[in-house]
């Protein structure tokens, strides 16, 4: 089966500094691949390179078998960026933000019934069905993240790329996301997901690719091989009792 993502020896620079130093990554249809590693190891840059936001300076990237330079089927890819503001100051409703995910498929035509149904389904999946008419600015951080996930789901992608989708999302919603990804992967959608903690996604993960210093440090092929306590954050490598205690009210 042809890989959905085939990245060989990928290199990239940001601000004149090498950030990816030869990353190999292959994801097949229906596979869920987790990208792990410490802060600054290159996870976000890798996924941003895959979705065409960071140009590679070397190596080869193929998407659905097509060299990225010739690739035009971007509507096949759903992308949830690292936590960001979907509508910085724009007075959009939750529904409008989620419906923007249909743009790639429908262009600037008005929403058709199938588009509206896809938006309804995505809102329901992330538990925001009753919040559609509210301004996106009224959502909490975790609800906002769920709206971004819904936006990616509305594209009904063949490849779903998510950068830390669990950040700030409560456990119940994490489980809903896990169930959704499980179903999508079962239908053949490939999933590439940056994670700091595996959480409820652990049972779904076919392979974990652990980055360090812009290179693949190692790959774990089965979830049971995954290092439960992999030190993704420098603080995680420290005994809990030795970690600095947060000082509420100081920030
Ligand atoms: N716009 C930029 N200009 C210069 N350097 C950058 C830029 N963005 C990221 N970097 C650097 O690239 C390296 C990799 O960053 P990246 O965001 O890919 O790491 P990450 O593994 O996703 O980290 P985190 O877990 O903190 O999100 C870091 O050293 C970072 O400082």
Task: Flag whether 248 is in a domain.
Answer: no
ipTM, interface predicted TM-score of the complex: 0.96
- Tell me the two tokens of residue 57: 């300076």
Task: Flag whether 156 is in a domain.
Answer: yes
Ligand 1 pocket mutation pick from 10, 37, 44, 213 by most atoms within 8 angstroms of CB: 44
Q: How far apart, in whole angstroms, are the C-alpha atoms of residue 114 and residue 126?
A: 19
- 81 CB within 6 A, ligand 1: no
CATH of the domain at 44: 3.40.50.300
Partnered with residue 67 across adjacent β-strands are: 62
Task: Flag whether 17 is in a domain.
Answer: yes
Task: Flag whether 129 is in a domain.
Answer: yes
Per-residue pLDDT tens for 212-229?
Answer: 999 999 998 865 556 554
Domain that holds residue 197: 5-242
Task: Flag whether 85 is in a domain.
Answer: yes
pTM over 0.90? The answer is no
43, 35 contact by CB (below 8 A): yes
201, 193 contact by CB (below 8 A): yes
Query: What is the phi/psi pair of residue 144, to 5°?
Result: -60, -45
Q: Report the atom number in ligand 1 closest to the C-alpha of 37.
A: 21
Task: Flag whether 249 is in a domain.
Answer: no
Each of the 251 residues of the chain gets a pLDDT tens digit; together they read 899 999 999 999 999 999 999 999 999 999 999 999 999 999 999 999 999 999 999 999 999 999 999 998 888 998 888 866 555 566 789 998 898 887 766 555 666 788 889 899 999 988 899 999 999 888 888 888 888 889 988 888 999 999 998 888 888 888 888 988 898 899 999 999 999 888 899 999 999 999 999 999 999 886 555 655 444 444 444 344 443 333 333 32
Domain count, the chain: 1
Task: Flag whether 247 is in a domain.
Answer: no
Give how far the C-alpha of residue 83 lies from the chain's centroid of Cα atoms, to the nearest Å: 10
Ligand 1 pocket mutation pick from 23, 36, 45 by most atoms within 8 angstroms of CB: 45
């Amino acid at each position: 089966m042809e890989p959905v993502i085939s990245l060989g020896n990928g290199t990239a620079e940001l601000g004149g500094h090498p950030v990816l130093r030869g990353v190999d990554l292959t994801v097949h249809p229906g596979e869920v691949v987790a990208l792990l590693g410490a802060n600054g190891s290159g996870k976000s840059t890798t996924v941003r390179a895959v979705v065409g936001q960071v140009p590679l300076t070397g190596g080869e990237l193929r998407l659905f078998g097509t060299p990225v330079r010739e690739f035009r089927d971007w509507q096949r890819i759903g992308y949830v960026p690292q936590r960001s503001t979907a509508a910085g100051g724009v007075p959009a409703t939750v529904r409008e933000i989620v419906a923007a995910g249909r743009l790639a498929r429908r262009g600037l035509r008005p929403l058709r019934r199938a588009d509206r149904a896809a938006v309804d389904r995505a809102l329901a999946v992330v538990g925001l069905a009753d919040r559609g008419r509210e301004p996106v600015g009224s959502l909490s951080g975790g609800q906002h993240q769920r709206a971004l996930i819904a936006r990616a789901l509305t594209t009904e992608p063949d490849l779903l790329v998510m950068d830390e989708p669990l950040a700030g999302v409560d456990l119940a919603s994490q489980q809903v996301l896990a169930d959704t990804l499980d179903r999508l992967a079962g239908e053949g959608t490939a999933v590439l997901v940056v994670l700091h903690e595996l959480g409820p996604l652990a049972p779904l993960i076919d392979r974990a690719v652990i980055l360090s210093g812009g290179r693949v440090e190692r790959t774990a092929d089965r979830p049971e091989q995954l290092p439960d306590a992999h030190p993704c954050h420098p603080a995680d490598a420290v005994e809990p009792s030795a970690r600095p205690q947060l000082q509420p009210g100081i920030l």
